[in-house]
Amino acid sequence: MTNTLSVKGLSKSFGANKVIDGISFDVPEGSTFGFIGANGAGKTTTMKMILGLLPSDNGEIFVCGEKVSFGATKTNRFIGYLPDVPEFYGYMRAKEYLQLCGEIAGLDALVKSRRISELLDIVGLSGVNKKISAFSRGMKQRLGMAQALLNEPKLLICDEPTSALDPMGRKEILENLKQASRKTTVFFSTHILSDVERICDRVAVLSGGHIALSGTLAELRTKHKSNSILIKFASAIDKEQFVSAAALLMKDAKSVDMELTLRVTDIEAAQRVILRILFSNDILPLKLEVLEPTIESLYLEVAG
């Protein structure tokens, strides 16, 4: 599998403040890559270096095998970029803006007008004829998405595309992203973890200038396998009976209503013990579950 984006040993300081400290990661072709980090972690800085808008102090960036150099925009022909708050010319209409983008990107006139009407349809702006200055935040974000996809990029870079949107706007943008990811590699930054779980297959967590965690979602889930077991009882009597019989397991337990969450060190041994206790006390639980780690718990583990 080839890498659409490859970052090697990238560093960047602003004055004495080292924002990015030797990060490396690869974004394989066809993947949807979530770049996670708190506000101010350096996500936008990293993206701007990938786009050649900011010089890096150290390290190399490759887009589709070509090296990115600051100030030059050669590698940007592979890229579609949606900034965190996209700024347009308020006196233009959506279609006019896309035409300008198409002309600058050097699209053929015929291809351009076809792509523009396609994209306006996809992002739901085809019937909108008002000037961009009258657009809502969500509409601007969708126009931003349309311009990013205009030149059919190999790599779509979105900087916190959903952060400032209401639930409806978020859902629309996520759907656009999901649709785009079928044709192109997507690299997007966010701090909304549920978005990551919804559309990403790979993630990297940026924390303290380093990549604290990276890999496919499946890999991360197995690597950071859970050590929690949830038991749901049918009655309070069952629950009390179990608690008194399994006193050893109760050291690190959380109890909510009929549910009991046990944190253990050896998950398999614990499961055997629990089943034995349940069996010998003739308790039939409603649910017995080994908890999957969520991105949130992983994130808090490495960045918290």
Partner 1 sequence: MKSFVAFTKKEFTESLRTYRLVVLAAVFLLLGVMSPLFAKILPELLSGVDLGGGIVITAPDPTAMDSWAQFFKNVGQTGMLALIITFSGIIANELSRGTLIILLTKGMKRHTVILSKFLSASVLWTASYLLCLVVCYAYTEYFWPASTLSNAFLAFFSMWLFGEFLIALLIFGGILFGNLYGSLLTCLGVIVTLSLLNILPYVQKYNPIALAGGTLNLLNAQKEAADFIPATIICSVMAVSLLVMSIVVFNKKQI
When asked if residue 106 is in the footprint of partner 1 (CB under 8 A), the reply is yes
Which residues inside 232-251 make contact with partner 1, applying CB under 8 A?
A: none
Q: Taking a C-beta distance cutoff of 8 angstroms, is the pair 68, 61 a contact?
A: yes
Q: Which is nearer to partner 1, 105 or 122 (CB)?
A: 105
Residue in 100, 192, 199, 217 binding partner 1, rule: CB under 8 A: 100
Site map 50..89 versus partner 1, x via CB under 8 A: -x-xxx---------------x-xx-xx-x-x-x-xxxxx
User: Residue 254 CB, nearest distance to partner 1 (Å)?
Assistant: 47
What stretches of the chain adopt beta strand conformation (E)? 3-14, 17-28, 32-37, 58-63, 66-67, 79-82, 155-159, 185-190, 202-207, 210-216, 228-232, 253-256, 259-263, 287-290
Q: Render the burial of 243-257: b for 16+ CB within 10 Å, e for the rest.
A: eeebeebeeebeeee
CA distance 219 to 223: 6
When asked if residue 187 is in the footprint of partner 1 (CB under 8 A), the reply is no
Q: Which is nearer to partner 1, 40 or 106 (CB)?
A: 106
When asked if residue 134 is in the footprint of partner 1 (CB under 8 A), the reply is no
| CA distance readout (Å), 199 to 35, 176, 195 | 12, 11, 6
When asked if residue 92 is in the footprint of partner 1 (CB under 8 A), the reply is yes
Which residues inside 142-171 make contact with partner 1, applying CB under 8 A?
A: 144, 147, 150-151
- Which residues are at the interface with partner 1 (CB under 8 A)? 48, 51, 53-55, 71, 73-74, 76-77, 79, 81, 83, 85-89, 91-92, 96, 100-101, 103-106, 144, 147, 150-151
